[in-house]
Structure 1
């Protein structure tokens, strides 16, 4: 999920704290559920993500909903849930091999503020040490100019108000922002699907631990390839207490 999403969540949550009642909490729950396409759920104890298992013949695909910011035990649990033998993990992570962009996405500051774990540190390194893996995300040079600018804005460290001001100065209005975000997501989904088709036949298990905003699209693609949903599990990703 993007920083913009979590900023909206924080604003709604603060409203719930100021005027806390069941109705306000339900509004926040509904917002998160809708934005997470039904794969992320808010409860009084924290934020829960869903893991899905699809199967065709003797091959399994694990769709594992992720957040960049979560408890370390969540990331460890994901690593331990993926079989080592006969499996490959398709990792997310936009690259910039030719240094086209000024800055990459950086969730470290937010992770430190929340006193929790950053995905690249707590998850990717463990996966690389124990599993066969492949990055299945796009490189900045392959993005459209609009998607590239969207990525650069997300990665900036200045205050949200300053970022919004920059967007407006560039005539990158709310509609333009949404259009660029959609384009950016579509570019990444296409690359993931391309990578899956390239490697799937060589493994009995393909694990896809990606942000929940991507999972719904990939569900449809798996179903088009005659995979069937055989399992679903909800896991606490970020505990409040």
Structure 2
């Protein structure tokens, strides 16, 4: 209804904009204002919703008071004398379209992009950043007093080919690389995970095709699928089905029929994130006595907890290097390797690929 009234305000000057424009824009504006609370204070989102609802009631009462000339109710709510005489005006329509296309829409897009950038930075704890030129990751090097180093390298399943090549070439020859990658020794997953569709749509490559560090340095530091809860395995089979064969009617029907158990969310986070982090931390501790340099090229979602734990072990941040993982395509944005200041391009697509699955 609000959308219809908003459109009618552009078609006819009869509708008093000073009354109906605030009414129609209240909910979209409230939704936009609530985005930072979703990012930084999600646990208090219920209180935010109450405040918005209370504000909506007060706002509507003030509009009603203005229309009725006091707190009394009579029909119609908007008297005929309050409507404009003309039913259509090209000037009204032109100004309406110009304001929406040239002001409201660009402001909304910029605001949403800023909120997305804040969300990426907040939830990754600074390991990833959304720039006008692309999605960047920050490689952090930690050092201990005895000279041993741990390098946390945030990864994504898809990215620029030069991003993967530059990372591979930057690793010291004497480093041990603790690789991510859930195994499936008992073949519990019914479909193979592939990111080719995503990579093709973004014009980038898959990590498995381009990220090729020296094999002599590689150590597997992940878990096997059989260590996951049954509900997690069922969920992964549904996700891999979509990845392998696409989102068609049959797959949508199967996903709709899936009924997760009550503890599904807890098991999912435990299996895909915490359990794998514990396994990685165990391998880090096992490698530290005989390794001077340890490199951890894992998904962005794993990095905050891993960084927290290695700091507890006496490591401190020594260096941060930023790389462009996914570049928003433009004709002049062809730079390679670490991001340089001023390297921006036209925004074609926004994506934040987090390595969570096997």
Q: TM-score w.r.t. structure 1 length?
A: 0.82
Superposed CA RMSD in Å reads 2.3
Q: Please show how residues 6-155 of structure 1 align to structure 2 within 5 Å.
A: 19-21=105-107, 22-56=110-144, 57-85=146-174, 87-123=175-211, 126-129=212-215, 131-155=216-240
Point out the structure with the larger strand share. 1
Q: Identify if the C-alpha distance between structure 1 residues 49 and 227 changes in structure 2 by more than 3 Å, giving closer, same or farther.
A: same
Alignment gaps of 5+ in structure 1: 1-17
Q: TM-score w.r.t. structure 2 length?
A: 0.56
2:269 is the counterpart of 1:182: yes
CA deviation after TM superposition for structure 1 residue 179, in Å: 2.8
Partner of 2:8: none
Alignment gaps of 5+ in structure 2: 1-103, 330-358
Partner of 1:221: 309
Spell out, residue by residue over 1:184-233, the C-alpha distance to the aligned partner (whole angstroms, 9 max, x if none).
21121111112212222111100001111001110111012111111112
Check whether the contact 1:105–1:151 (CA below 8 A) recurs between aligned residues.
no
Q: How many residues align?
A: 219
Spell out, residue by residue over 1:166-186, the C-alpha distance to the aligned partner (whole angstroms, 9 max, x if none).
44422228x866434312211
Partner of 1:6: none
Check whether the contact 2:231–2:260 (CA below 8 A) recurs between aligned residues.
no
CA deviation after TM superposition for structure 1 residue 92, in Å: 0.6
SS in 2 for 1:207: strand
Name whichever of 54-63 and 196-205 sits farther off.
Answer: 196-205
SS in 1 for 2:213: helix
Q: Which has the larger radius of gyration?
A: 2
Spell out, residue by residue over 1:150-175, the C-alpha distance to the aligned partner (whole angstroms, 9 max, x if none).
322332223188666544422228x8
